[in-house]
Amino acid sequence: MSIPPKLWFQWQRLKKVFSSSWGGQESAPSSTVRMCPHCRALIDRDAKVCPLCGEATGPVRARGGGSTPGRIMGVIPIPTTASSVFVVANLALYAISWYMTQNTEATQLYGAPPMGGISGQVLLRLGAKAPYILAGQWWRLVTAMFLHSGLLHIGMNMWCLVDLGPEVESLFCTTKFTVLYLVTGVAGFVLSLWWSPFGTSVGASGAIMGLIGILIGASFHHGHLGKQYRSQLWKWVIYIAIFGIFFNVDNAAHFGGLTTGLALGYLVPEGEPATRPSENLWNALAVLSVLVIAASFVMMALQLG
């Protein structure tokens, strides 16, 4: 009995996620087939017309020239659309904060922090999570997700985002990923604010823990294979928790992002929205998420003056 095209696609996509997470090579069929952009069935990679829906499939888009499809130099996963945007936004904010730190420290005749460190005052000005949230500066719950305190901080977080972001975006879809990333990141800082209302913190790690939680939550729908994958993800959680014990990190934000991601990964259906109303809803939520992020940065820029 043949497997329905949509079920076959879901199975192949799940295997791809597991393979990339464990550092393994993809199976041979994954390089000879691709997804129809109209009905989402797996078809021959060189097919000009989908044999199932009859629609033209368009040209094949090459991604990178490495030996492993979807990875730079066969090692680093290529971020997909929303993942790339978030990575670029984090790097841009780090460059701005580093430039402001250099100017601030030079003006005050102090040496700049080592290892690409960012001044605490600069982070506060650019929207770190701080007690000012309780005074109405809600946008700090968003802007804090894109700020980092140094090279090691942003390096670790971006490495995790480049690795995990494409997996979540592949398993769900770009619109869902955009919403889930924002929600888990904000949830992490909300718990951080409740746990330490007078503390300050920055970083994308709450949202990154949210991505891990999303993958763990989704794995419960995939039987024994999901259980094996879940055990690998829990190791990530344990390593990050141990790191948090010995270093000054916002463990409350990590826990808030993780638990929110667990719930969303379990409850939100995987893949593209199945119906037109569902598609319209997720599109609207994604647009709203982008507007919230944009509005947060606008409000941050206004208070700089």
Whether 38 sits among the annotated catalytic residues: the reply is: no
31 counts as catalytic: no
Please name the residue that has the structure tokens 């924002």: 182
Q: Tell me the domain boundaries of the chain.
A: 5-72, 79-304
Give the integer Cα–Cα distance in Å for 260 and 132: 24
Question: What letter does residue 147 receive in the DSSP assignment?
Answer: -
Gap between the Cα atoms of 297 and 305, Å rounded: 13
Per-residue pLDDT, 287:
95
Annotated catalytic residue within 148, 153, 222, 254: 254
pTM over 0.85: no
Superfamily of domain 79-304, CATH level 4: Rhomboid-like (1.20.1540.10)
**To the nearest 10°, the Cα dihedral for 95, 211, 190, 268?**
140
pLDDT tens-digit profile, the chain (305 residues): 444 554 555 555 555 555 544 444 333 333 355 556 666 565 676 777 877 777 777 655 443 334 455 555 555 555 558 999 999 999 999 999 999 988 875 556 566 677 688 988 999 999 999 999 999 999 999 999 999 999 999 999 999 999 899 989 988 999 999 999 999 999 999 999 999 999 999 999 999 999 999 999 998 988 877 888 888 888 878 888 887 777 778 899 999 999 999 999 999 999 889 899 999 999 999 999 999 999 999 999 998 86
Q: Which of 205, 219, 289, 296 is an active site residue?
A: 205
Spatial contact of 125 and 143, defined as CB atoms under 8 Å apart: no
